[in-house]
Amino acid sequence: MNIRRPDGWATRFGLIMAMAGNAIGLGNFLRFPGKAAQFGGAFMVPYLLAMVLLGIPLMWMEWTIGRHGGGFGHGSTPGMFHRLWRHPVAKYLGIFGVLLPAMVGVYYIYIESWSLGYAWQTMTGAYWGQTSNEEMEAVFSNYLGMNGGLFSFNPHSYLFFLATFAINIFVFGRGISKGIEIVAKYCMPTLLVIGIVLAVRVLTLPPMDGRTIGDGLAQIWRVSDWGALLKSDVWIAATGQVFFTLSVGLGMIHTYASYLKKRHDITLSGLASCGTNEFAEVILGGTIAIPAAVLFFGAAQAQTIAKGGTFSLGFFALPVIFQQMPAGQIFGTLWFLLLFLAGLTSSMAMFTPLLVFLEDELRLTRRQGVTLVGVSVFLMMQPIILFMHHGMVDEIDYWVGDFGLVLFAAIETVVFAWIFGMARGWKEMHLGADLQVPRIFYYIMKYVTPTFMILLLAWYAYDGLVARVLMRGVAAESQPYRWLARLIIAGMAGFLVWGVRFAWKTHPKFFEEASRAREEEEP
């Protein structure tokens, strides 16, 4: 029996752009500069080590798991894990690969919509005249409607949220070749061109008060405090950024790769998408926000701004800088369009594993699946938006985008390298490969990556997990809303547990088919 999965990638370029777009997101241009600015050049040492020892191996593992599972007709991780490990618990462990991206998407699309709204506000000069970080922080709070009322609501920002949500549903609802691939083929090159234009403009800024743009670049690339490498928070931040930037440990790569045929290359294609992401993050993301902030404010104040949170550099500091630059309105609009396109290329993938799970495992039609996902996700988003000032985004982000990501990455590395077996995994990874991966990565993927992930998970459990569970330090008035965020996650998880159980009971022959259903033709 041969199983041909519906839809699929029309071109290799489209696949690489979509995979790179899945990884390139707001984290490349907001989260990375913020982390790097806080820790200075010491951040790049663990970042690059984590990229080689964790990020790239995990990326190859997920491409391999996805293509392998897709050969059996599975487009989501419950079925894929069932094929890797014939144990009843395996398919339930795979639920994380559907749950995590969907729950990240619940708040990520709202954050993405801020970029679109700010692009409009910059183009129209709505906040022009607010020339300090404090004033821009007030602009930001007003934009979100966080003015101390019962709800955090602003009709203006909500309108941009509706537009962003509609775009995402429309794109992912059209599937891979007719939706995601087409958008990625046009948005990714546009994003990179805008990023290069902004980077060149920053690099050509004149000196200010004795500071040059080279001082800003040194903030990333010069290690002035080697003692910082002895601090665990630098390593945790760098490792978390690697996971976040490559979108590993979330399940989206698995679904994208499931549309590949047996002998479609994944080693070179995976490395190409990873390289594109790193160019966008390290070269472009590291050249725009940090050097500009150091030039205008100085290294010390730039670090202080970055410690204010993920959005401080991008939404507070840079708008102040744009107002002091020639043609700043144009460059500011391009900056926020860059953020929007980066967010869109990531967010349109976040609900795809859930949609594919509904289609493949629960046998819903495309229209039924899109309707169910669109309505349910929209409803879940409302309390996130309305009660954002009570920390609902922070709560969900920790459990699914932080701890959950590390947990799932640890599970999949152990299942792939130690249960499925690295020898089988290495052979599977190289089917149709255009790049022979250096043998050293066999041992990294077999020993280093799983061990590192287990230790990292243990550290997360030791360092602050109990305090998070008990909500220590959370204001009493915010705790009910934090519990609501947890209930939303638990509700989605419960639905997926039911869905897996229902699927395996209603059509078990599909899941227990022993023959490997693969497309045999060459790519």
pLDDT digits (tens, 9 = 90+) for 274-299: 998 899 898 998 899 889 988 998 88
Mean per-residue pLDDT, 426-454: 94
**419 φ, ψ to 5°?**
-100, -55
Min mean pLDDT across 30-34, 338-342, 420-424, 449-453 is at 30-34
Give the residue with greater pLDDT, 16 vs 104: 104
For the stretch 46-79, pLDDT in tens is 999 999 999 999 999 999 999 999 988 898 999 9
- CA-CA distance, 27 to 54, in Å (whole number)? 18
Q: Is the dihedral of CA 415, 419, 423, 429 positive or negative?
A: negative
**65 φ, ψ to 5°?**
-60, -40
For the stretch 365-389, pLDDT in tens is 889 999 999 999 999 999 999 998 8
- CA-CA distance, 115 to 315, in Å (whole number)? 9
Q: What is the pLDDT of residue 6?
A: 63
The rounded mean pLDDT for the chain is 88
Contact status, residue 35 vs residue 472, Cβ threshold 8 Å: no
- CA-CA distance, 110 to 104, in Å (whole number)? 10
CA separation, residue 324 to residues 132, 193, 292, 327, 483 (Å):
11, 23, 11, 9, 44
Mean per-residue pLDDT, 207-219: 88
Name 208's bridge partners: 211
- CA-CA distance, 399 to 499, in Å (whole number)? 21
Instruction: Let me know how long the chain is.
Output: 523
Mean per-residue pLDDT, 396-407: 88
Give me the DSSP letters along 142-208: HHHT-SSSSS---HHHHHHHHHHHHHHHHHHHTTIIIIIHHHHHHHHHHHHHHHHHHHHHHHTPPPB
Residue 245 burial (10 A CB sphere; 0-12, 13-18, 19+): buried
CA nearest neighbour of 269 among 395, 434, 431, 147:
434
**208 φ, ψ to 5°?**
-135, 125
CA separation, residue 252 to residues 248, 341, 353, 491 (Å):
8, 18, 6, 21
What is the pTM assigned to this prediction? 0.90
Contact status, residue 11 vs residue 184, Cβ threshold 8 Å: no
Residue 157 burial (10 A CB sphere; 0-12, 13-18, 19+): buried
Which element (helix H / strand E) includes 125?
Answer: none
For the stretch 126-177, pLDDT in tens is 999 998 888 999 999 999 998 877 888 999 999 999 999 999 999 888 877 7
Sequence-distant (≥ 6) Cβ neighbours of residue 406 within 8 angstroms: 240, 243, 249, 453, 456, 457, 460
Q: Residue 263: count other Cβ atoms within 10 Å of its Cβ.
A: 16
CA nearest neighbour of 83 among 28, 160, 3:
3
User: pLDDT band for position 19 (50/70/90)?
Assistant: confident
Q: What is the pLDDT of residue 197?
A: 94
- CATH 1.20.1740 at 12-512, yes or no: yes
- CA-CA distance, 440 to 271, in Å (whole number)? 16
Q: What is the pLDDT of residue 5?
A: 58
For the stretch 402-421, pLDDT in tens is 888 889 999 999 999 999 99
Q: What is the pLDDT of residue 55?
A: 92
Q: Which two tokens stand for residue 469?
A: 């569970």
- CA-CA distance, 118 to 115, in Å (whole number)? 5
Q: Which two tokens stand for residue 420?
A: 């499925």
- CA-CA distance, 473 to 38, in Å (whole number)? 23
Name 211's bridge partners: 208
Q: Is the pLDDT of residue 516 over 70?
A: no
User: pLDDT band for position 309 (50/70/90)?
Assistant: confident
Tell me the CA end-to-end span of the chain in Å, nearest whole number.
19
Amino acid at 484: L
For the stretch 330-352, pLDDT in tens is 999 999 999 999 999 888 889 99
User: pLDDT band for position 115 (50/70/90)?
Assistant: very high
Q: Is the pLDDT of residue 522 over 50?
A: no
CA nearest neighbour of 31 among 245, 276, 248:
245
Q: Residue 188: count other Cβ atoms within 10 Å of its Cβ.
A: 24
Residue 456 burial (10 A CB sphere; 0-12, 13-18, 19+): buried
- Calculate ∠ Cα 393-398-402, nearest 5°: 130
